[in-house]
A and B are shown apart, each in its own frame.
Chain A
Amino acid sequence: NAGVTQTPKFQVLKTGQSMTLQCAQDMNHEYMSWYRQDPGMGLRLIHYSVGAGITDQGEVPNGYNVSRSTTEDFPLRLLSAAPSQTSVYFCATHGSGGTNYGYTFGSGTRLTVV
């Protein structure tokens, strides 16, 4: 039972390049989300999804696209990378209903844009 799997773990991009950060979950959770972590700022929500085919913007969505074609996968796309997108990215899931557990986070992707 892998939980939430993020790939790659590390990535270096040149300014203007595009890439997709992958996130897959095997927990059958409806909700998935992407956060970025920057020094001194905690984690901030980029985009989220409440189910397949449904996505919405979070606090810092500019420069990122998402789609949710299946329950399991929620990729994050950088169309034209910028140095300001250098960060650690976390994917998270959680289920609906009266459960008593918190979000489950992936292990993170450390992205550097040069």
Chain B
Amino acid sequence: AQKVTQAQTEISVVEKEDVTLDCVYETRDTTYYLFWYKQPPSGELVFLIRRNSFDEQNEISGRYSWNFQKSTSSFNFTITASQVVDSAVYFCALSEAGQGAQKLVFGQGTRLTINP
């Protein structure tokens, strides 16, 4: 069975600090996809990134970066120079490929608070 664990329930940092959100996953599949979503206080789910299991290159998008390591089954998310607008709940998720791709398995989420 697939499982996603986000061990950090809540994180609070001061603005401009760097912060890393951890995500560890379990799957028996060799082909799978990993996702990060942001849920701001308004409640919608905002897609941040999708990574397939064959692509272990790290991804950088502005202040956001992702570190995918198959050896440790981790897909961590780092925000550099955090801003108050980054305050949200962040979810890591996993799906199979093919017919299983419509089943997303979510972690419990990490509530990130950026204090001014």
Contact = CB atoms under 8 A, between A and B. Distances in A.
B16 interface: no
A44 B47 contact: no
A13 interface: no
A48 B107 contact: no
Q: Assign chain A's interface to a size class.
A: 20 to 34
A44 B91 CA distance: 12
A25 to B, nearest CB: 13
Nearest to A50: B102
5 contacts: A32-B102, A42-B91, A42-B106, A43-B106, A102-B49
Nearest to A42: B106
Interface of A: 31-33, 35, 40-45, 48-50, 58, 88, 90, 92, 94, 96, 100-105, 107-108
Contact of B108 (A40, A101, A104): A40
Contacts of B4: 42
Interface of B: 4, 9, 35, 37, 43-45, 47-50, 91, 93, 99, 101-109
Given A42-B91, A42-B109, A43-B91, A104 B47 contact: yes
A31 B102 contact: yes
A105 B39 CA distance: 11
Contacts of A107: 43-44
Given A31-B101, A43-B91, A50-B99, A103 B106 contact: no
A45 B100 CA distance: 12
A48 B106 contact: no
Nearest to B50: A102
Contacts of B91: 42-43
Contacts of B47: 101-104
